[in-house]
Amino acid sequence: MIVTSRPNALRLFFALRGSILPRIAWSLATCTALALVVTASHGSLFNAKITLTPVPFSLIGLALAIFLGFRNSAAYDRYWEARKLWGELVYRARSLTRQLLTLTRLPAPAALLRLDATELHDVRHAMIRRTVGFAHALRHQLRDTDALADLRAWLAPSELSAFAASQSGHDLLLRLNGQQLGDCLRAAQLDPQVAVQIDEQLCGLAAVAAGCERIKSTPIPFAYTLLLHRTAYLYCFLLPFGLVDSIGFMTPFVVAIVAYTFFGLDAVGDEIEDPFGLRAHHLPLDALCRTLEINLLEAMGGSELPPALQPVDGWLH
């Protein structure tokens, strides 16, 4: 995600950080070059004069702008819903940690585990660390990357092995927390009402994961996207023939502005349609996971907290 202040009026025209221009540069250059050729030939192609009036372009342009706006609105709704889901994840994880630490007094497990010289003193800490692992596992699943390197600091070796063999690692970690919660409840080590509240947080985390998986696995229908792509390109490539007789040498300039707007809107919609990726305008899942690490480690009494991630060249990962 781009995190930077808005440039002033002069730098606004030359700012590339966070701009969609590098992604559409070739399409824009091709369209502008065609407009230059059409202007130089006065709208003639192979000695045949191609006459188009601005009227059809006004009608098609209005419809195309509406369709592009609708598609970008749908893409942004997906982006914003994904951000709300990750906000819900942080809220649920913090609430789970608070309930475990303030409403329970669970016994230590039979065998204490050492993870990076940090001793898990009781069941509560083990469940909290799995919750951090859950956030990392979900982030990597949504990005189709390997989560094991990030999970070694949070899970026991046996849990890492089970995670590596699982088809849904983040759900496995929730099940482990649920099993440990059930064991404590059956052993009468936990008040049933408190267990219900804790289980609600686990269910909330599962709902967050399911919501993120729904967004990732259900893109905007391809036929709709393809129609907009084709219409935008045909419109911008034919536009010079409709403008050259009325505005003359200004045709390439006007075509470049229109093409930048339509191609840019199209590219922005493509980029934010899947908000979990690694591009500049995708959600900063690394930073959200680091925030969760800091909050939960601090709640457990940790003294050496990792630093919060900061934007690099205005880009927060």
User: What span, in angstroms and rounded, lies between the C-alpha atoms of 220 and 222?
Assistant: 6
Which structure tokens are listed for 140? 């990597």
pLDDT for 115 beyond 50: no
User: What pLDDT score was predicted for residue 14?
Assistant: 64
User: Could you tell me whether strands 48-49 and 114-115 are parallel, antiparallel, or unpaired per DSSP bridges?
Assistant: unpaired
How many C-beta neighbours within 10 Å does residue 70 have? 13
pLDDT at 16 over 90: no
The amino acid at 61:
G
In this prediction, residue 113 carries a pLDDT of 36
Q: Is pLDDT above 50 for 117?
A: no
Top-confidence range, 39-53, 137-151, 245-259: 137-151
Mean pLDDT over 284-295 rounds to 95
What pLDDT does residue 244 have? 86
**pLDDT > 60? residue 211:** yes
Question: Is the pLDDT confidence value at 85 over 60?
Answer: yes
- Give the residue-averaged pLDDT of 232-237: 90
Question: Degrees (nearest 5) of the Cα angle 191, 195, 201?
Answer: 155
The mean per-residue pLDDT over the stretch 142-156 comes to 93
Contact 240, 41 (CB under 8 A): no
Mean pLDDT, the chain, rounded, equals 86
pLDDT greater than 60 at residue 121: no
Do 265 and 23 form a contact (C-beta atoms < 8 A)? no
Amino acid at 244: V
Which whole number is the average pLDDT over 176-199?
90
The torsion defined by the Cα of 88, 93, 95 and 96, in degrees rounded to 10, comes to 140
Angstrom distance (rounded) from CA 212 to CA 61: 35
- The secondary structure of the chain in percent helix, strand, coil, rounded to multiples of 5, reads 70, 5, 30
Which residues lie closer than 8 Å to 55 by C-beta, 6 or more apart?
none
Q: Show Cβ contacts of residue 282 under 8 Å, excluding neighbours closer than 6 positions.
A: 1, 271, 272, 274, 275, 276
Rounded CA-CA distance 126/107 in Å is 11
